[in-house]
């Protein structure tokens, strides 16, 4: 859709609705556990396109590409490390076609799947190079926003942010918190908000990990620590296995109520993560439009 000025300034003046899950939606179309979701950008593009289209029809103004695990280190685990550019650009092209001039396209970039030194053997510079390859491929294909999401380690988030900023696109960074109120690597909401804002993120927030009620508490802490654009994308509740199928227990009305509460505490961009469907997003859009 456009430029850094457009998306950042829009989010400062009104709540912008993002989309919901991609991974769990792909699973409903037959993506099997352990298979590479990004490969569907070239093998099942019409399915990916239909998911984007459903979110746009529901009211999403930002749609996220099917590229969460599209960095080289992650793709290497599927033997696809040499297809970073192809798979990421295909993901952006699909989303761009659906978004047209009415919605923003955010390239989804998730963690590398490796630990940085000293916990692991990945250096900070190697992590930057890994994310830079993905970010630039997506930027060249026409993405409007870099969305770094579901990070748990602050240093890896900073490596991804350092790479993404070089594209010149607005860079949003969200971390995944658990029921203890911190990320898996022990990062607090306040620390995440402060450090990522200071490091140059255009917006910060929380996604995945928790349902709407718990995410609201995390976001309140983040809002107290930054005046930056704030992003909230909780899971649609907690996953439960029923008759062999994983379902999430938050209803569309639950998520709609969350959207209103998030707006009240100053969240600028609202959406959903795992288990969130177009029906959830539609309920959120309707509620936000009347409150």
Structure tokens given for 230: 């704030």
Cβ-based neighbour number of residue 178 at 10 Å: 14
142 torsion bin: left (phi>0), alpha (psi -120 to 50), beta (else)? left
| Crossing angle between the packed helical segments 84-99 and 124-140, to the nearest 10 degrees | 40
Beta strands, E only, 208-287: 229-233, 239-242, 245-248, 269-270
Give the CA diameter of the chain. 51
Q: What is the mean pLDDT of the chain?
A: 96
Query: d(Cα 7, Cα 33) in Å, to the nearest integer?
Result: 34
Q: How many CA within 13 A on the CB side of residue 136?
A: 10
State the average pLDDT over residues 218-232. Answer: 97
Query: d(Cα 108, Cα 16) in Å, to the nearest integer?
Result: 17
What is the band of 280 on the pLDDT scale with cuts at 50, 70, 90? very high
What is the band of 1 on the pLDDT scale with cuts at 50, 70, 90? low
**Structure confidence by residue, pLDDT tens digits, 85-135:** 999 999 999 999 999 999 999 999 999 999 999 999 999 999 999 999 999
Which backbone phi and psi does 108 adopt, to 5 degrees? -80, 125
What is the band of 2 on the pLDDT scale with cuts at 50, 70, 90? very low
Question: What pLDDT does residue 228 have?
Answer: 96
Structure tokens given for 130: 């890994």
Question: What pLDDT does residue 238 have?
Answer: 86
Q: When comparing pLDDT for 68 and 6, which is higher?
A: 68
Res. 4: pLDDT tops 60? no
Structure tokens given for 151: 């990070």
Question: What pLDDT does residue 5 have?
Answer: 52
Question: What pLDDT does residue 115 have?
Answer: 96
266 torsion bin: left (phi>0), alpha (psi -120 to 50), beta (else)? left
- H helices, E strands: number in the chain: 12, 10
State the average pLDDT over residues 206-232. Answer: 97
Query: d(Cα 246, Cα 154) in Å, to the nearest integer?
Result: 30
Structure tokens given for 23: 């991974």
| Terminal Cα distance for the chain, rounded | 26
Q: When comparing pLDDT for 63 and 241, which is higher?
A: 63
277 Cβ partners below 8 Å, 6+ apart? Answer: 20, 21, 25, 236
State the average pLDDT over residues 179-187. Answer: 96
pTM of the entire structure? 0.96
């Amino acid at each position: 859709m456009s430029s850094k000025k457009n998306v950042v300034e829009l989010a400062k003046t009104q709540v912008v609705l993002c989309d919901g899950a991609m991974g769990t939606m792909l699973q409903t179309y037959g993506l099997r556990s352990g298979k590479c979701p990004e490969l569907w950008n070239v093998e099942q593009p019409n399915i990916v396109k239909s998911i984007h289209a459903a979110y746009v029809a529901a009211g999403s103004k930002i749609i996220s590409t099917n590229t969460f695990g599209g960095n080289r280190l992650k793709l290497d685990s599927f033997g696809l490390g040499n297809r970073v550019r192809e798979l990421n650009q295909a993901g952006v092209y699909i989303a761009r076609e659906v978004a047209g001039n009415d919605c923003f396209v955010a390239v989804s970039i998730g963690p590398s799947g490796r630990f940085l030194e000293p916990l692991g053997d990945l250096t900070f510079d190697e992590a930057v190079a890994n994310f830079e390859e993905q970010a630039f491929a997506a930027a060249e294909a026409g993405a409007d926003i870099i969305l770094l999401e579901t990070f748990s380690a602050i240093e890896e988030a900073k490596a991804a942010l350092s790479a993404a900023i070089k594209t010149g696109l607005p860079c949003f960074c969200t971390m995944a918190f658990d029921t203890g109120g911190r990320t898996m690597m022990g990062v607090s909401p306040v620390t995440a908000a402060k450090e990522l804002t200071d490091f140059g993120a255009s917006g910060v927030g929380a996604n995945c990990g928790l349902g709407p009620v718990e995410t609201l508490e995390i976001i309140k802490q983040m809002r107290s620590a930054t005046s930056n654009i704030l992003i909230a994308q909780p899971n649609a509740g907690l996953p439960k296995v029923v008759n062999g199928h994983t379902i999430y227990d938050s209803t569309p009305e639950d998520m709609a109520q969350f959207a209103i509460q998030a707006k009240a505490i100053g969240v600028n961009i609202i959406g959903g993560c795992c288990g969130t469907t177009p029906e959830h997003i539609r309920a959120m859009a309707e509620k936000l439009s009347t409150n």
